Amino acid sequence: MKAHTEHLMFQTKDRVEFINITPQVKEAVRRSGVQEGLVLVNAMHITASVYVNDAEPGLIQDFQDWLKSLVDVNKDYRHNLTGEDNAYAHLMRTLMGREAVVAVTGGKLDFGPWEQIYYAEFDGRRKKRVLVKILGE
């Protein structure tokens, strides 16, 4: 079995930002040489998520609106008493999840229709990392 690891680095200009990282993950799979296996894509920060869904811009805005309807970004959370101001980002990450796993078949990501891999940043404007781990033959 082969194992291949890469890290994607991001520094968003906005505090909350959604980035389609499918092209970078596809390239990592190509470089790995894995033909049959799995790729794990994991946000390595507790205020960011990786998820799989449609790349339609309206849906991206719907996700942002939905998260803001569930998580009050201006609330005085207890976590913020530590000197942080990002409790809302931790809550959003919990809702959107930590990682995505996608099958690799014939050396390519084995997606359903319209599926893409997204990095969702909730406390941006600083350097963040995403792990891409590819396992298989």
Domain containing residue 74: 2-136
Nearest alpha carbon to residue 40 among 85, 73, 3, 12 = 3
**pLDDT tens figures, 112-133:** 999 999 999 999 999 999 999 9
The number of distinct structural domains making up the chain is: 1
Question: Which stretches of the chain score pLDDT less than 50?
Answer: none
pTM above 0.75, yes or no: yes
The rounded radius of gyration (Å) of the Cα atoms in the chain is 16
State the CATH number of the domain containing residue 98.
Answer: 2.60.120.460
Residue pair 26/20 in contact by the 8 Å Cβ criterion: no
